[in-house]
Chain A
């Protein structure tokens, strides 16, 4: 039998954790309880963070959106500030799991599981998210790229937990997109995904373009050198094709039960072309 602790505040949580330092943290439990049941993880003590209301806030301050680690995917979908400032994160949350999974699962759990197929990660990489990590005594803020170091591996140290996520608000008139391919529309593990952000001049010249790729490497990937190709070029089909093909060569996909590495590469080279279609459907204001 495992003990389950449910602290109501950060202070209470710290006290419990120092008394049972071997405890594993639980947010929504949608990854943790599945892996415990599969017997992959053995634990004696569980600390559930779900009642710490301080971790459930979404705030806006100093040009950043601050998202508590226990914010659920449903909260992301419901928050007007996310729809307005970070539509790409909202889009990603809308494609994650099923309604009940979105009611339970959290952004912090999605990050700390560190699966290359996790749906919120491409958006968070694209937006240059930073993570606030706390221990009883220390606080540090690290870019998400430094936090996730491999498939299901993070640089979380002993006694450290994810407090909240800081996401800089993109400048106005940036358009952002998230495309995911899975075996079906709901409850499907991502075979490959792309998040993209475009800032265009009125004549369709690209001022800035960012792309991040999910499930085609040990972590979510970004290729800054390839992104630069877009700069000051008119948005066009050949240009997007070039981005796709160059990125596909840089990805390191694996073949698994979901799909082959070749299929994943093919998805990567074609994803950017979808931006043109999305453009047609959404008109010129770019709102998704």
Chain B
């Protein structure tokens, strides 16, 4: 089946099985490996992407669902070679250790800041409650999102 959609602002067309999971389409067919797969069942958030600007789990989406949509992965947040303010804040606050959770965390944070430009710490915690991190203990991630919010505001 041929599907066409916007991937990180570029229109693309690709031949794929309609029931291919979006995470596999991204990582294996398109070689866009920023998006990670942890659990494959919705529990860890590592595979979070934005579909038409809204955070969704690419392990629980089928390729056919992308037809005509716009998908943003962690790679697409970089503009003119510059990191997105949320990415920058993750770096400057040491919110990254092994980095496996970071792409999903950042996408969840971007979704949050679109809805709620100045969230409190509790709101930030809720926003990343579906993203598991085995390294950082979360505090620095929350610090980073809070500081990115201030910068974006």
Contacts and interface: CB of A to CB of B under 8 A. Distances in A.
Contact of A100 (B21, B45, B65, B126): B45
A33 B131 CA distance: 19
Interface stretch (A1-9, A142-150, A193-201): A1-9
A133 interface: no
Interface in A1-31: 1-4, 6, 29-30
A273 interface: no
Nearest to B111: A99
A50 interface: yes
Contacts of B14: none
A3 B18 contact: yes
Given A98-B130, A101-B130, A185-B129, A4 B19 contact: yes
A278 interface: no
A81 interface: no
A104 B61 CA distance: 9
Interface residues of A, number: 23
Contacts of A99: 55, 108, 111-112, 126-127, 129-130
Interface string B16-53: 01110100000000000000000011110100100000
A99 B17 CA distance: 28
B144 interface: no
B55 A100 contact: yes
- The secondary structure that dominates the B interface is mixed
B57 interface: yes
B67 interface: yes
Q: How big is chain B's contact interface, by range?
A: 20 to 34
A189 B58 CA distance: 21
B19 A30 contact: no
Contacts of A33: 21, 60-62
A155 B108 CA distance: 38
A186 B44 CA distance: 11
B133 to A, nearest CB: 13
19 contacts: A6-B64, A30-B60, A48-B64, A48-B65, A99-B55, A99-B111, A99-B112, A99-B127, A99-B130, A100-B56, A100-B130, A103-B54, A103-B56, A104-B57, A104-B60, A104-B61, A186-B130, A187-B43, A187-B130
Interface of B: 17-19, 21, 40-43, 45, 48, 54-57, 60-65, 67, 108, 111-112, 126-127, 129-131
Interface of A: 1-4, 6, 29-30, 33-34, 37, 46, 48, 50, 97-101, 103-104, 185-187
A-B pairs, top 5 by smallest CB distance, nearest first, are A98-B130, A186-B129, A4-B64, A4-B18, A2-B19
Given A100-B45, A100-B130, 11 more contacts: A3-B18, A3-B19, A33-B61, A34-B60, A99-B108, A99-B111, A99-B126, A100-B55, A100-B108, A104-B61, A187-B129
